[in-house]
Amino acid sequence: MQHSILPSVRPVLERLIIENNSSITRIIPGSIKPVADAKGQVKARVTIPIFAGFKALALSDGARQELFITTCLTHAELDEALSKASKAK
């Protein structure tokens, strides 16, 4: 692990990997920056394609964290998987 992970984002990423184990190769947590609108339940969304996957943003704990996800899932499939993992408890 190269970067910290926001405490409430870690369980979301763990669920994402468990539910999509064969489709997600790697999740690399990126920079964390404070933002005012990151309150309540974790919100995660796919932003842009990158080589072999996508960049995503997770909002929680008063901060935004970049996530780099290596996957064979499409943009829509990964967005749906992130949403499902964010809502599960």
- At 41, which amino acid appears? Q
Q: Which residues are bridge partners to 70 per DSSP?
A: 26, 53
pTM of the model: 0.89
Residue 2: predicted pLDDT: 53
Q: Which pLDDT score is estimated for 40?
A: 83
Q: Enumerate the domain spans of the chain.
A: 9-87
8, 17, 3, 23: which is closest to 63 by C-alpha?
8
What does DSSP say about strands 43-50 and 63-71: parallel, antiparallel, or unpaired? Answer: unpaired
Q: How confident is the model at residue 64 (pLDDT cuts 50, 70, 90)?
A: very high
DSSP letter, residue 41:
S
How confident is the model at residue 88, as a pLDDT?
75
Please write the tens of the pLDDT for every residue from 2-58.
568 999 999 999 999 999 999 999 999 999 999 988 888 899 999 999 999 999 999
Q: What are phi and psi of 15, to 5 degrees?
A: -65, -40
Instruction: For residue 59, give the 3-state DSSP assignment.
Output: strand
